[in-house]
Amino acid sequence: MISTAISIGVGIALDDKIGAKEARRIDERILIVGTADLMARMIRQGILDVPEADAIKDDWKSNHRFNLTFDSFSDILFPDEPEPLVDDPGF
């Protein structure tokens, strides 16, 4: 899969860190996206919201032995935004 992507000049979806490192060793220009990248894109495009994506992430961890290293997709999408106040009127 990696060799095919490199040979035809396309990106690859891959969560394997060793495989990604090897792909970049062969061709540093290869675009590698992971599951978190794909989920973040779906959130930005309005296909999923953060709570839905977090529920999927939790299911992966609980039922599929696939763990992402952050607590919530909001952590990677909006890392510098403060948590809103519950009583914040929005102005």
**Contact (CB, 8 A) for 38 and 57:** no
Q: Is residue 27 part of a domain?
A: yes
Residue 84 pLDDT greater than 50, yes or no:
no
3-state DSSP assignment of residue 27 = coil
At residue 89, the pLDDT reads 47
pLDDT band at 88 (very low <50, low <70, confident <90, very high): very low
CA separation for the pair 17, 63 (Å, rounded): 21
> Do 46 and 81 fall into the same domain?
yes
What's the pTM value of the predicted model, to 2 decimals? 0.73
> Do 4 and 27 fall into the same domain?
yes
In the block, tokens 């939790």 appear at 58
Structural domain including 5 reads 1-33
Amino acid at 9: G
Q: How many structural domains does the chain have?
A: 2
> Do 50 and 77 fall into the same domain?
yes
- H helices of the chain, in order, are 2-8, 17-26, 35-44, 50-64, 73-77
> Do 41 and 29 fall into the same domain?
no
